[in-house]
Amino acid sequence: MEDSASQRPYQDYVIKDGVLVGDFEGLYRDFEDPWNQSRNDHIFDSRRQIALNWCRRLRSEDSSNRFLELGCGFGHLTHQLASEGFTALGIDISEVAIAKAQKLYPESQFAQASLLDFDLFRNFDANVYIMAELTWYVLEELDKFLNFLAGEKQRINRPIYLIHLLATYDPGKQKYGQDKFTNLDEILNYFKLNYLESGFVRTVRIGDEGSQGTFFVARV
């Protein structure tokens, strides 16, 4: 646990015993820094730097400048993009997370929304979508979202890009989502996009043995 004030085990809020709980409102209310995102993800995660570099590259090579981060949490990545002159919007299903993000970065754009709030996405007119450590929590909505991206490609008549980061686990450790994918190859096969780059970072630190931080950058 990160916060001694909370008596519920951490996994009680997210995925427990192979079942999605999804109490993100409670998670952000009861824990000061869920997933240690302000330290591990924001400062030290190598894949976040890969994502940022691809954002810069897409802006340089494809004039992409409207970026939507799905499941932004405290909004660190959205703010980083905005600070570099990108037009960026961060969304999260948790009102508590969005309130904290807006307090941290009042000059950046955030909104409380789900993965299926397609009208919001269209109104923002993004052509680069970022999913960082969100996918396990939206497996049931994933196909609808991918169909939406395919439709957006036709609507705006220009490329749509997806930057995707997700931790996977060694055989025997993963109990949820095995029918979808369990490793990078299966992730790539499931999404079936035009991949520009993919790979993984093997994490070797206490508490994270047996996990891989996967990533891909793809054109829809």
- Who wins on pLDDT, 34 or 60? 60
* pLDDT band with cut points at 50, 70 and 90 for residue 2: very low
What pLDDT, in 10s, does the model give residues 189-203?
999 999 999 999 886
Q: Which of 3-7, 15-19, 31-35, 152-156 has the lowest mean pLDDT?
A: 3-7
What pLDDT, in 10s, does the model give residues 145-178?
999 999 999 888 889 999 999 999 887 788 899 9
Q: Which of 22-26, 169-173, 181-185 has the lowest mean pLDDT?
A: 169-173
Report the Cα–Cα distance between both ends of the chain, in Å, rounded.
Answer: 38
* pLDDT band with cut points at 50, 70 and 90 for residue 1: very low
* pLDDT band with cut points at 50, 70 and 90 for residue 41: low
Tell me the domain boundaries of the chain: 36-219
Provide the whole-model pTM: 0.91
Task: Give mean pLDDT, residues 130-149.
Answer: 97
Res 69: pLDDT: 98
Task: Give mean pLDDT, residues 57-77.
Answer: 94
Structural domain 36-219, CATH architecture: 3-Layer(aba) Sandwich (3.40)
3-state secondary structure the chain: CCCCCCCCCHHHHCEECCEECCCHHHHHHHCCCHHHHHHHHHHHCHHHHHHHHHHHHHHHHHCCCEEEEECCCCCHHHHHHHHCCCEEEEEECCHHHHHHHHHHCCCCEEEECCCCCHHHHHHHCCCEEEEECCHHHCHHHHHHHHHHHHHHHHHHCCCCEEEEEEEEECCCCCCCCCCCCCCHHHHHHHHCCEEEEEEEEEECCCCCCCEEEEEEEEEC
pLDDT surpasses 70 at 4: no
User: Which has the closest alpha carbon to 48: 61, 37, 34, 60?
Assistant: 37
Res 43: pLDDT: 60
Task: Give mean pLDDT, residues 70-80.
Answer: 96
Give CA–CA dist 149/21, Å, rounded: 27
Whole-angstrom CA distances from 12 to 6, 9, 96 are 11, 5, 18
User: Considering the chain, what is the average pLDDT of its residues?
Assistant: 90
